[in-house]
A and B are shown apart, each in its own frame.
Chain A
Amino acid sequence: MSQGKAQSLLVSSVTLKIVMAITGVAMVGFVVIHMLGHLIVFQGRVAYNDYAEFLQGLGGLKWIARFGLLGMIGAHIAAATALTNRNQRARPEGYVKLRSRRTTFAAKSMWFAGLAIFFALLYHLAHFTLGWVDAEQYTWIDEFGRHDLYSHFVISFEDPRILGTYLAFVVFVCMHLSHGVTSMFKTMGLSRGRFTKPIEMIGPVVAIILFLGFAAPPLACMMGVVTAG
């Protein structure tokens, strides 16, 4: 393989996009499973804490998944940074006016939404994984002597400040994915001919489903449909 070939396959803008897409697929997979897991809150304390115990009991697998996801996030951000730098350098002098005909707000705010998601994610981990936000709630135990994640979850979302920041987080994730998921299929070379129109739709549809799935449990907590009692 000549040096030219090696270079184009390692650092070309298309390669970076493929990195964005593959890491994106992995993270969307996580997000979907995460959403399904949280819907278990509607089945009550025992079912929800069972699910939490199951995940915590995965041991080595859990750590592989955690480090895998961290790696995905790192690669996604690194590729995004390289691409964004390149894109900004490509037009040093802007237009006095450039009209958009087809792009969307979500597509134009990918970088901003991505950053917002990253910081919201740090807060989310500090809240539910590390237990730094409500240190006292994190020590609650249920009738079987396990960490009572169910009560932690329900009581947290009865606080409108936590609910508000969480919903904003969900909105950013959904906005990011409404463009990202469709973009992923295009980058992976799948959006062609008769697949083009359905793939244009798949991002927004995934975003709406995720929004409903993620917003429902905390809203139910706030409205008293799901209670800790």
Chain B
Amino acid sequence: MKIKLTVWRQRNRNAQGAFKDYEVEASPDMSFLEMFDVLNESLISKGEEPVAFDHDCREGICGACSMVINGSPHGPRQGTTTCQLHMRSFQDGDHIVVEPWRARAFPIIKDLVVDRSSFDRIQQAGGYITVNTGAPQDANAIPIGKAEADEAFDYAACIGCGACVAACPNASAMLFTASKVAHLSLLPQGAPERRDRVRRMVTAMDGEGFGGCTNHGECSAACPKEIGQDAITLLNREFMRAGVSAK
């Protein structure tokens, strides 16, 4: 199948970027990233600079791939990362526009690669638990309800790819931050840092220059792990709980 690509090219952080058109001969069985591999091989053979893009596991669990494909982060398929998106989702002769995540807190490093270390700093601000050193205790020593465990796991599924920020009209990192806060708030292991976690993570999120949440729901619609907006409700609840706490 013949694909016409329009790709964002930007030499480095400070350079002015622009769109460039390419044509690729792809197979419907290729993943979207494999189609880019084919493009890059042809660019290299022509002596041109290959398109830089983030990728790692290519099995939908690492959160490295990050492309806005025809206006949708990770492309048109619900609950699918770019690496798990296949060319069979497109038609022969399709024109596909590929852009990087766009947010002040995700500066472009090169072409489609953005710097997502702002997410690391939010995580470092409070996305951890206290664990005593010494021998591990029995796994069944801490009772956790089935419903709570399931819900916490839904939020823990966040791979930190940043599609929520990319899709949000305000470039807000609320769904990412909320997933981390919600995940740990539901488990007894997360209880010791509960108050400070939400305060610190929200402060870090705001400090990085992300926008605020206006409940559009675009984050959740774009999330490859289909994390619901309930996470954000939980963050708000945790924030108010911390706010009324005397400590």
Residues of A at the B interface (CB closer than 8 Å) are: 4-5, 7-9, 12-18, 83, 86-103, 107-108, 110, 179, 182-183, 186-193, 196
Contact = CB atoms under 8 A, between A and B. Distances in A.
Contacts, number: 146
B105 interface: yes
A99 to B, nearest CB: 4
Given A17-B212, A91-B211, 6 more contacts: A4-B200, A87-B211, A89-B209, A107-B214, A187-B215, A188-B236
Interface string B197-224: 0011011011001111111111011100
A14 B70 contact: no
Interface stretch (B27-35, B132-140, B226-234): B226-234
A192 B185 CA distance: 14
Contacts of B102: 91, 93-95
A13 B216 contact: no
8 contacts: A12-B203, A13-B213, A90-B172, A91-B171, A94-B102, A97-B97, A188-B240, A189-B236
Nearest to B210: A90
B240 A186 contact: no
Given A90-B171, A192-B233, A13 B206 contact: yes
Contacts of A101: 72, 167, 218, 221-222
B169 A108 contact: yes
A186 B232 contact: yes
A13 B202 contact: yes
Given A8-B199, A90-B209, A107-B214, A17 B236 contact: yes
Contact of B214 (A8, A87, A89, A92): A87
Interface of B: 19, 68, 70-72, 97, 99, 102-105, 167, 169-172, 196, 199-200, 202-203, 205-206, 209-218, 220-222, 228-230, 232-237, 239-240, 242-243
Contact of A183 (B211, B214, B235): B214
A186 B236 contact: yes
A70 to B, nearest CB: 24
Contact of B215 (A4, A186, A189): A186
B230 A7 contact: no
B45 to A, nearest CB: 29
Contact of B218 (A100, A179, A193): A100
Contacts of B199: 4-5, 8-9
Contacts of B203: 4, 7-8, 12
A215 B57 CA distance: 58
B200 to A, nearest CB: 7
A39 B140 CA distance: 62
Contacts of B171: 87, 90-91
A22 B202 CA distance: 20
Contact of B212 (A5, A13, A97, A100): A13
Contact of B71 (A16, A99, A179, A186): A99
